[in-house]
Structure formats: C-alpha cells, structure tokens
Structure 1
Amino acid sequence: MNLDDPRVQRTRARLREAILELVAEQDLDAITISAVAKRAGINRATVYQHYPDVHALVVDAMDGPIAEVARAVRVCPADAPPDRAPEALAGLFEHIAARAAVYRCALGDQGSAGFAGRMREQVTAALAERFHEGKRPAGFDDVPVDVHAAYLAGALLGVVTHWITGERPAPASELAAAFWRLFRA
C-alpha cells in the first residue's frame, strides 16, 4: 500500500475520524471493525487492509493529538512564574479535557501501551530538544538531558492519566496549575 496515494490518505483519514467518534461514545472494547467501517462509510475488508485491529487504528488516530501535546510542551516557557501555569500548559490541559473520552480510552485500563509509549516518546523528544536549545530549568546540569526529559514526560503522562481516569476529574486549569507547581519544584 502506498501511503502517499491520496485515496489511501482519504480512507485512513475517514477511519481515524470514525474511530475517534466511536471512542467518544462507547468503550473501546465494544467497538468492532464492522462499526468502524459503517461509521466511515467503507467496506469492512478495507479497514483490515489498513489496520490489523481497532487498537492499531486508535494508536494511529491519536498521532494528531499526541503531536498537539508535544507542541504544547515544546513552547511552554520553563522560566514562567511559579504561581500561574503558562498559557501553553493551560491550553494543553484544556485540549485534553475537551477530548477526555478519547484520552481516557487511550490511556486508561483498556488503552493501548502503544499510544502511551508514543506520547511519552514524543514529549520526551520535545523536552530534550528544548533542553538542548538552552531552555532547561536551572539546577539540573548534573542530570543528563535525556534522563531529565524522560522524567518530566513520564510525570506529565502519569498526571494526565490519573486526571482523566479519575472518579471526579478536577478542572483543567487546576490540573495545569498543580502540574506547573510540581514541574517548577
């Protein structure tokens, strides 16, 4: 399959959109390839030409949201005042809150390790890039950049997962402020 073919790109876009809609409506375990095909308006066999199962489709569909998380991390100023979360971080938590059902599916108990791994890797890379550019919090020169970046990416992923899978998630603004206080510590 040629992923550069516009027909393939359109089909995959329809499948990604369909799975994200379905995940927002029901548990991932209840979603079948047939349901995805019906929602996308394509043949079930076509789905299998692109993805082996629903989980692989979810991981692929979440590439855009993962990129949004990494972008927010990349532009978040490390030297912002400790008493208020930077706008980019607040925006990141708002982005996640607006898509909570999808993130809950991807990061919760029924989620995919592939999604969490991709998110962690992209956020780690974004942080490492910033740190190499000299935009690193002070006081950590004795810690290798990649270790520092991985630590913070894991912390962000852990906080987000705890937040969106909790019984009563706090407002995004509260979580952004709490994470920022922890990040600045």
Structure 2
Amino acid sequence: MEKKTAGRVDPRVLRTRALLRSAALEMAGERDIESMTIADIAERATVNRATVYQHYRDRDALLLDAMEEEVGRLARAAAQCPLTRPAERTPDEVVDLFRHVDANATLYQRMLGPGGSARFVNRLRELLAQEVEAQLVGADDAGTGPAAARLRGHYLAGAFVGVFTEWVSMTNRPSAPQAASEVWRLLRGPSSPASVASEGTR
C-alpha cells in the first residue's frame, strides 16, 4: 500500500518504484523477459526482494508499469495518424510511428517476442484500439457507431501489433519509411477503415 503524506504519495515510495522500473527496463533490453526474475530486478535496483512485492504483485505487473510510459508514447503517436481516411501518400505521422518503434526496437523485441509479456501486448493493443476508435467515432462522415468503431479499432490495433512484432524481429528489416509505406498500402485497400465505414452505410 502506498504511504501518503498530506494527500501525497511518500517520496520514498516514488523513488523505489522509479528504481524498480529503471532496473526492469534495463534488463528487458539485455535479456529475454522470461529469464528475468523478481530477485534479479531487485538486485539491479539495489533493494531486497520483499520490497518489490510491497509495490508489485509480480514481475509482469512491474514490467507493465515500467513500460506504461512507452506504451503511452506509442499510443499518442498513433493518435496523430489519420487512420480513418487513408491518403495516396504515406503520411509523415505513420512514418514517425514506425521510427518510434525502430528507435526502441530492442525493447519491443523483448516485450513482443515469444518470451515477452502478454499483459504488455494486451495493454498496447488496448491503447492503440482506443485511439482508432476515437478517430472513427469523431469522423463526421464515417457513419460509424460505438460498437462498430470498437470492433474496427481492435482489428486495426491487432494488425499494427502484429506488424510491429514481426518487423522488429527481422534480421534485415525494412526501414521505417519502407515498413510504413507497405502498411499504408494495405490500409488503402478494400479493408481500410474508411472503406469499411463507407460500406457500412450502404
């Protein structure tokens, strides 16, 4: 339980959690997630194992917290992409989204790979879906209700997570602009959000 002073979280709690998140992220960039233990993270953070359990239920909960900021950054980048109205030219925002993942490729390899965290994958997909849903519902001419937007949001989010997972694992992966261009070409096809939305209004 968090200690609070005058309605604020005890600074010692914040420091400890920051140490644990930093240690977890460092280790995630060095080794497979499945090989990491609470004891390993505690040793890297220079705290005892029991202290970790005072703040986190298990290793995955700690990793998810450590990656929450990164996931948020990726979701905000996705929010800038005009996913509901694909244009001829690949938007710079989509290229930037892939560049962001590329800049953190090792971390995404660990978290999305076979030995990664299912909770992280689910959280990433959830936030990406929320951003797509918001675009679809907010598009005046999309003709998309909340239920349909939710389904389409998760459809696209799943596609992006799948693409990111495969892309960061490739030995000679295409550049961010190349990968973004290929994904955008697929989005402009018959199953693009804009096309599906327009078909739903017929």
Determine if contact 1:59/1:114 at 8 Å carries over to the other structure: yes
Distance 1:135 1:180 in 2: 22
The answer to whether the Cα contact below 8 Å between 1:152 and 1:183 also exists between their aligned partners in 2 is: no
1:144-183 to 2 correspondence within 5 Å?
Answer: 144-183=148-187
Question: Could you say which residue in structure 1 is the equivalent of 2:2?
Answer: 2
Partner SS, residue 47 of structure 2:
coil
What is the aligned-residue identity percentage?
40
**8 Å Cα contact 1:83/1:181 also seen in 2:** no
> What is the CA-CA distance between 1:168 and the residue it aligns to?
3.0
1:120 corresponds in structure 2 to 125
2:111 to 106, 127, 134: 106
Q: 1:14 to 1:146 in 2, by over 3 A?
A: same
Q: Does the 8 A contact of 2:86 with 2:184 survive in 1? A: no
Matched with 1:40 is: 45
Between the aligned partners of 2:155 and 2:105, the Cα distance in structure 1 is 24
Give 1:2's aligned amino acid: E
Deviation at 1:53, TM superposition (A): 3.0
Change (3 A) 1:153 1:135: farther
CA contact (8 A) 2:137 2:144 kept: no
The two structures have a TM-score, normalised by structure 2, of 0.80
After superposition, residues 20-59 of structure 1 pair within 5 angstroms as 20-59=25-64
Shift of 1:61: 1.2
Distance 1:160 1:30, change over 3 A: same
* Alpha-carbon contact 1:128-1:149 (below 8 Å) kept: yes
TM-superposed deviation, 1:51? 2.1
| CA offset digits 1:145-176 (Å, max 9, x no partner) | 11111111111111111111234322222111
User: Bigger radius of gyration, 1 or 2?
Assistant: 2
Matched, 1:81 2:92: no
Q: Write the distance in 2 (CA, Å) between the matches of 1:43 and 1:87.
A: 46
By how many angstroms is 1:114 displaced? 0.9
The total of aligned residue pairs comes to 182
The residue that corresponds to 2:195 in the other structure is: none
Any idea what the Cα deviations from partners look like across 1:79-109, whole Å, max 9, x if unmatched? 463232x222212211111211211111110
Instruction: Pick the aligned partner of 1:14 from 19, 28, 48.
Output: 19
Q: Which runs of 5+ in 1 are unaligned?
A: none
RMSD: 2.3
- Counterpart Cα distance in 2 of 1:148 and 1:112: 24
Q: Which amino acid aligns with 2:95?
A: A
Q: Would you say the 8 A contact 1:28–1:105 is kept in 2?
A: yes
